[in-house]
Structure 1
């Protein structure tokens, strides 16, 4: 593991992506910064983080040789890495919200951005961006339903130790992925999936409300929701949200 520490940068994912394009990187090279000025989330959303208080990092993994058809299992491996580390911190009601947010007490505490390099039909390299709310206590009013580990436990965490734990757990899960133990990863992910099998009000991309319950993830990584008429509909990222 090679850790590169930066005082401030626009985006750890962007920085690491540029490094990967211009040099040969060691597997599990890590970029971590005290301040991220233009953090990125899913679908061009932004990630807001108070300097020196949170974990803003990106991790490079290579030689995955993973068929794109099995991409969802990479997502499962990454999410479970964060989840299992946080689960050792005695944080209550911890869940993974599809596709890759970590929730606690119904509040978002971590967001992930996974960007893959694809050659032919296979994922070769991946850059895993992690934004974890750790010691920040106050958030902007426009950020709804967010919290930090400090909010939930009243404990100040060592950011460097937390990072090392996450990278080591990620190595374990990537090993399971490369061993093609896909069923193990899927079972573990679905066991802690937020709102699974709970009747819930959703909103689609046209702002239409509907009732349903999450029952699983499709082969291609879409969210499967069983509707009131017992039919099953699949949704991609940004096609559905909790109402």
Structure 2
């Protein structure tokens, strides 16, 4: 489904219960209240970017495994962008970067049924044809700013769907280790020491990424060897 203007593509899909194997997808030219991580808004010039949400029922995914779904979506976006620009990586937990600038953000929400995930709702915004950004977001970049020309939004969406279907099929066939390894290889700042801030204490420190656990927790290793583990929203990349 395509809508010229909506409040939020994610809000449109909330409350729907898809059958197993059924996917609901909504795209929009403009979202008047699109959301990002930490409750931030998403700046997108009307008709210039790929903003969409989709809702589906994961196949036998435990609540303890939900981070694998984030990995699949991130890797599908990264593979889609590889055909247009170089230097694509995944910033933990689920942003997509081109070098040190954010080219895609996403939000995943899950409903549970006992210990299983009942439905997963994914909202994605890819900066595609926007020539400039005026908000206070620190580091956005679009495909057009990199390449100097526009990219077909429908073709980009079709490419994403294909990559997502392939990765999801790999998951269903037991390829979880392959997905986790590919996510690790794609990780932004995977090598070297970088600056971070503990959101809980405001302490700033240098560390290298040591591991990403199946539950999504990030382990950072300080220069002296001490390791610290963080859940979502507990640490900032500086």
Give the TM-score, by structure 1 length: 0.93
**Residue in 1 that maps onto 2:218:** 223
Aligned residues: 237
Q: Does 1:212 find its partner at 2:207? A: yes
- Is contact 1:64–1:125 with CA below 8 Å preserved after alignment? no
**Residue in 1 that maps onto 2:163:** 169
Cα deviations by residue, 1:134-165 (Å, 9 ceiling, x for unpaired): 00011014121110010111120111111111
Cα offset, 1:108, TM superposition: 0.1
Change (3 A) 1:25 1:32: farther
Of residues 16, 40, 54 in structure 1, which corresponds to 2:49? 54
Cα offset, 1:26, TM superposition: 6.7
Cα offset, 1:29, TM superposition: 2.0
Change (3 A) 1:55 1:66: same
Of residues 175, 183, 186 in structure 2, which corresponds to 1:189? 183
Measured in 2, the distance between the counterparts of 1:142 and 1:179 equals: 43
**Residue in 2 that maps onto 1:67:** 62
Q: Does 1:118 find its partner at 2:112? A: yes
SS of the counterpart of 2:66? helix
Structure 1 stretches (4+) deviating beyond 6 angstroms?
A: none
CA RMSD of aligned residues (A): 1.6
Cα offset, 1:168, TM superposition: 1.6
For residues 1-243 of structure 1, what are the structure 2 equivalents within 5 Å? 4-18=1-15, 20-21=16-17, 27-89=22-84, 91-205=85-199, 206-243=201-238
Measured in 2, the distance between the counterparts of 1:12 and 1:26 equals: 20
Cα offset, 1:197, TM superposition: 2.5
Of stretches 8-17 and 23-32 in structure 1, the one that deviates more from structure 2 is 23-32
Give the TM-score, by structure 2 length: 0.94
Cα deviations by residue, 1:38-67 (Å, 9 ceiling, x for unpaired): 001123222121111001100122242201
Measured in 2, the distance between the counterparts of 1:71 and 1:25 equals: 17
Measured in 2, the distance between the counterparts of 1:26 and 1:58 equals: 16
Measured in 1, the distance between the counterparts of 2:65 and 2:3 equals: 33
Cα offset, 1:199, TM superposition: 0.5
Cα offset, 1:169, TM superposition: 1.1
SS of the counterpart of 1:167? helix
- Is contact 1:136–1:150 with CA below 8 Å preserved after alignment? yes
Cα offset, 1:24, TM superposition: 5.8
Measured in 2, the distance between the counterparts of 1:225 and 1:26 equals: 37
- Is contact 2:58–2:120 with CA below 8 Å preserved after alignment? no
Unaligned runs of 5+ in 2: none
- Is contact 1:218–1:234 with CA below 8 Å preserved after alignment? no
Cα offset, 1:241, TM superposition: 1.1
